[in-house]
Copies of this chain bind each other. A is one copy, B any other.
Amino acid sequence: VVLANAVGPKGHVDAIDPASLDYGAPETLGQAQNRISQSEIGSRITWYQSSPLDFLASVKHDTYDVAILCHSLWYFASPTSIAETLRALKGKTRRLCIAEYALSATHPGAVPHVLAALTRYSLEIHNPASDENIRTALAPSAIRAIAESVGWRLASDKTVVPDEDLQDGKWETKSVLTDAFLEQVKQHIEDENINTVLFSMREAVKNAVQALGEKPVRTMDVWTAVFE
């Protein structure tokens, strides 16, 4: 969660991430933070290694102008933990900006990414200790419903089609097609039917990549929303 106040030349940003500083590739979270801290705006950012809920517990009312959750909601462990965080932000920031994958493929090349995200999501809900990129792949309408249920009002939203260079679609698709994915299914799922659903979903991902022929896998649409 990124929290900004006094947006403008005197503004300051508090950036909260619960992840370990050695998380991430090719650049780790710690390396990225160092690089940004050494930039022109570095002095105006404070990093916090904390869960957003813990951090927000000690934040006073009306502290921030805007909170930004940019591709972070899908990392959350459950819809409930998303609801708790959005509720904790109420009153502490005027606006709430969210960007998250839209589960839609305006470009046909992004169909494998949509299928791969749903497949990964279907596995990770059976792995309570998951540290995957996708643990709770909510649809935009579900995110909106949660935000509204804790008192936010949608001011505007827009769906954008990412540039061809964004690699996330390729990564996620590849990750579902590894043998490691099948190993994780074996490890976390005992039920024969759930196991076979996951196998069918993974095969559908494989088929969707094949259907593209020589064309590359693209990254799915992104939903951007502003709540007040």
- Taking Cβ atoms with an 8 Å cutoff, the residues of A that contact B are 78-80, 102-106, 108, 111, 114-115, 118, 121-122, 125, 136-142, 191-194, 196-197, 199-201, 203-204, 207-208, 210-211
Query: If the complex has contacts A78-B192, A192-B78, A192-B79, are A104 and B207 also in contact, measured as CB distance less than 8 A?
Result: yes
Given A137-B200, A142-B199, answer yes or no on A105-B211 (Cβ-Cβ < 8 Å): yes
Task: Write the chain B residue with the least CB distance to A203.
Answer: B139
**Which residues of B are found within 8 Å of A138, using beta-carbon distances?**
196, 199-200
CB pair A197 B104 closer than 8 Å: no
Q: CA–CA, A119 to B1, complex, Å? A: 32
- A118 near B192 (CB under 8 angstroms)? no
- What is the bound-complex CA distance between A208 and B208, given in angstroms? 13
- Please tell me how many copies of the chain the complex holds: 2
CB contacts (< 8 Å) of A203 on chain B: these are 103, 139-142
Q: A79-B192, A111-B111, A194-B125 are in contact. Are A103 and B200 (CB under 8 A)?
A: yes
Q: A78-B192, A192-B80, A211-B105 are in contact. Are A122 and B197 (CB under 8 A)?
A: yes
Within the assembled complex, what's the spacing in Å between the Cα atoms of A84 and B79?
40
- A141: which B residues are within 8 A, CB to CB? 203
CA distance A172 to B86 in the complex (A): 36
Partner of A197, one of B114, B121, B191: B121
17 A-B Cβ contacts within 8 A?
A103-B204, A104-B208, A104-B210, A104-B211, A105-B207, A105-B211, A114-B204, A118-B197, A118-B204, A121-B197, A122-B122, A125-B197, A136-B196, A137-B197, A137-B200, A139-B199, A142-B203
Instruction: Tell me the bound Cα distance from A207 to B79 in angstroms.
Output: 21
* Distance between Cα atoms of A211 and B200 in the complex (Å): 23
